[in-house]
Amino acid sequence: MTENTVQIRRALISVSDKTGLIELATALVEAGVELVSTGSTAKQIAAAGLSVKEVSEVTGFPESLDGRVKTLHPKIHGGILADVRLEKHRSELEQLDIQPFQLVVVNLYPFVETVASGAQGEDVIEQIDIGGPAMVRAAAKNHANVVIVVEPDDYSTLIETLNSGGTTFKQRRHFAGKAFAHTASYDTAVANWFQAEYGQGAQPERLNIALTREQELRYGENSHQAAALYKQSPSSGIAAAKQHSGKQMSYNNYVDADAALRAAHDFKSPAVAIIKHANPCGVATAEDIGTAYALAHETDPVSAFGGVIATNREVSEQMAIAVAEVFTEVIIAPGYSAKALEVLEKKKNLRILELAAPYARPETELRQISGGMLVQDSDGFDFFSSEGWQLVSGEAADEKTMKDLEFAWIACRAVKSNAILLASNQAAVGIGMGQVNRLDSCHLAVTRAGDRVVGSVAASDAFFPFSDGLEVLIEAGVRAVVQPGGSMRDQEVIDAATKAGVTMYFTGERHFFH
């Protein structure tokens, strides 16, 4: 395809998002471009004192059926799809009295936003655009002759072309690619909604994923790997967080910050999680966020150096002062007091992130494997309550001990399997994670806890296959244990706990995190 420039003489504009509309329309009119528009778009352009022709004037047919039918007409689509490089097409246009378009500006009904608002049924269905995607796809297909623009952010680039003699083929091809991605994302949102609302079975027959690149990252896990951040629409969580200051977020920063959010927001009371390499090196809850941070930091002060911090409450000045004393890569929270932000912003390299919306765990989790994806329901809060726990050895825990056991059981979910978490006063004191056998995780947790292991409680994310791991904990001074149970050797493990007089509960459900 040769490089050819197309001068814009006639434009079709139909936008749901009116951002920048008048600025664009003004620039087009000043450049001598004839504007054709629909419904509310035409009314807004006319109200600004600009010359615009309504689609019904072009088609000779009124907008009908509550606006469902307006642009689906040969005089519109013929003008978009005609390849005016061909004599045959030019002749047909003349015979049919159709004027070609060189520019189509369309964005679609707010389907995604409507779903996000909580609307249901017919209110959602009414926001499924029909004519819009047809125009977008037609213009994108015919990008040799027509430029299609679907995002207000691209209006400034479009305006620049008016003063440079027209759009180049390279520009039109670029916009066409964005347009097809735009309609694909839109159709994905519609399909996913239908599957969620009316589909059968826990998992849909087809899984459609639509993401938009938010930014290119310096590199991935390592410097030789290219990487970028992509966002869902609407987006929340770490992907949509506002960065107040600090260096650009890296791939590893995002991974660790998301893990920290997951850990901190598992708790209802004020909680802080400190993450290193996607594993907690500190987790704690308390009556206030400053105390929770202090307890979390005490879990493993050595590993906390260079860590990532997440809270489930606004960061206080007290906490900010303590954080500022330790080298930290990232801190992410629902908010910051003015004084806290003032303190933290003095640390020029500290990445300070604030959630744009209340944190919500995704309902499904995806993991890429070679040739496909694994999809599962998110490990929710169904198994956090101690109400269904079974006491299998020792005396029933008192209120304080039970609170520590519940804390440990919740916190160990954020630890990579095999996971052993020791806790005291609703704060982790020793964590064993990611080992290939549970015995090693027990040794690691005890070693990291040091003297604090005495009188602590322990949580294991899965059953003890043998009594040896439990015996390591008991010999070190652990006084109560919570674990799923379910091993062929459960009785051997129960006997070891009973012999030592240690309280042990079975939850009946594990919390693996690979």
- Distance between first and last Cα of the chain: 50
d(C-alpha 307, C-alpha 322), whole Å:
14
Active site residue 276: no
Collapsed DSSP state (helix, strand, coil) of residue 393 = strand
The Cβ of residue 200 has, within 10 Å, a number of other Cβ atoms equal to 7
Structure-block tokens of residue 165: 């003699």
The Cβ of residue 210 has, within 10 Å, a number of other Cβ atoms equal to 18
d(C-alpha 164, C-alpha 206), whole Å:
45
Half-sphere exposure of 195 (CA within 13 A, CB side): 15
Structure-block tokens of residue 244: 């107040």
Q: Number of helices (H) and strands (E), helices first, in the chain?
A: 19, 21
Sign of CA dihedral 249, 253, 255, 258: negative
Q: Please tell me the total number of residues recorded for the chain in this structure.
A: 514
Active site residue 141: yes
| 158 CB-near residues (< 8 Å, 6+ apart) | 24, 103, 105, 147, 149, 167
What stretches of 182-254 adopt beta strand conformation (E)?
212-217, 227-231, 242-245
Give yes or no for a contact between 107 and 150, defined as CB atoms under 8 angstroms apart: yes
Give yes or no for a contact between 294 and 282, defined as CB atoms under 8 angstroms apart: no
Helix (H) or strand (E) holding 148: strand 147-149
Sheet bearing 242-245, strands edge to edge = 242-245, 351-354, 328-333, 307-311, 271-276, 279-285, 427-432, 420-424, 457-460, 480-483, 503-506, 390-393
Residue 445: name the closest of 465, 470, 426 by CA: 470
d(C-alpha 368, C-alpha 45), whole Å:
47
> Of 73, 75, 244, 277, which is the active-site residue?
277
> Of 73, 89, 141, 247, which is the active-site residue?
141
Helix (H) or strand (E) holding 26: helix 21-30
Distances (CA, A) of 283 to 19, 262, 378, 428: 44, 11, 21, 6
| Cis geometry, peptide bond prior to residue 437 (ω within 30 degrees of 0) | no
Residues assigned a catalytic role: 141, 277
